[in-house]
Amino acid sequence: MSTHTPGAGAGVAGWQGLLARQQRWLMLLIGLVFLLIVSSYLYRGGFYGQLVTQMLIFAIAAMGVGFLGGYGGMVSLGQASFLGLGAYGVAVPMSDGADPWTAIVISLVVTLAVALLTGLLAVRVRGISFVIMTLALGQILFGLASSWVDLSGGDNGLIIPVAPTLGPLDLNDPIVLSFTVLVVFVLAVLALRTFVASPFGLALRGIKSNEQRLKTLGYATRLHLYISWVISVMFAGVAGILFVFTNGLITPTALDFGHNGIVTLMAVIGGLGTLWGPTVGAIVIMLFQNYLSLYFERWATVMGIVFVAVVIFAPEGLWGLVTKFARRLTRQKAARGQLGINEVPVGDAGAETESELPDPTTEKVQQ
């Protein structure tokens, strides 16, 4: 004999829906708290303000890796090189006398052209071959920046003398520039969320899961991966533009293999295929590099141990752990809600209200 009312399923669904809404509000609250904390550091400026600014910039670049790897199944190992490309796209025109806004437009156009061209090669391979392909593309850009001294400035790099102005806002003010980086970061998060929630993002997930099945269903899988590659490179290019203005200098070392590995680690440690994972990864790695290194000589060893532990015990990344815990908590609350709301005493299980009793007239008509 059932111990639940006929509306038990609806009650559970309603309870789970309520918990899901509460979880969304909680995530929104966490996001607002995050913005308030970041804004307070940016407003104070100094070392910590600059550190937070760099975290936001590298988080934007890591978002591209997380999007391409987490939803498209292709992990790039050349993202920092495209960040350097975006930075040089600003620095080279400005060294020839261009104004900042013209240089920004040139940088975006050059980055887009390179993304469209390299994407034709990158999407032809999968798995480890794709990783090697992106590494090779990154090393080509690094080699050009190192050897083409007349254009890149060689080891001395190129200096950015002035930042753009935006109406009454003068981005030469470090605090104004830092808040501009924050605004661009928020726009990048919203854009990434839009891509992920769109039919395009859902198709990418299907391609990662079973590309052949998506081909059978009529999806242009290579075109989807090509577009996702372009989006990923453009995220790096935008991060490069912000990087060169906040640092005032760009050198070829920003495009080297070490920086490529660091940006990829940011996405992997934070969690591939998550909205906030790359940001968490950028915060953790930047803290290790710029804060822990001030107090601990063997900071690189500690960072390596932490990374190994995350890869072994939390392959979904740090943010993946947070979301996993939240889902488990939601299921537990849903189970308690099912018992607390829908359970009735066994003795009343067969009881029916007057409105639920069968109508004799209806039974006679049916007979």
Please report which helix (H) or strand (E) contains residue 170, including its range: strand 169-170
The amino acid sitting at 310 is V
Average pLDDT over residues 108-114: 96
Helices and strands (H and E) in the chain: how many = 15, 4
Mean pLDDT of 163-182: 88
Q: Which helix (H) or strand (E) holds 298?
A: none
Looking at the chain, the whole-number percentage of residues with pLDDT higher than 70 is: 82
Angle at the Cα of 180 (from 323 to 163), degrees rounded to 5? 140
pLDDT tens per residue, range 322-349: 777 766 766 665 555 544 444 433 334 3
pLDDT at residue 13 in the model:
52
Q: Is 338 exposed, middle or buried (0-12, 13-18, 19+ CB in 10 A)?
A: middle
pLDDT, tens digit (0-9, with 9 covering 90-100), for 80-95: 999 999 999 999 999 8
Q: Are the CB atoms for 243 and 57 separated by under 8 Å?
A: yes
Give pLDDT, residue 132: 92
Angle between helices 8-44 and 46-72 (to 10 degrees): 140
Rounded Cα distance between 214 and 205, Å, is 10
**Closest-CA residue to 140 (of 252, 265, 266):** 252
Chain position carrying tokens 């950028």? 282
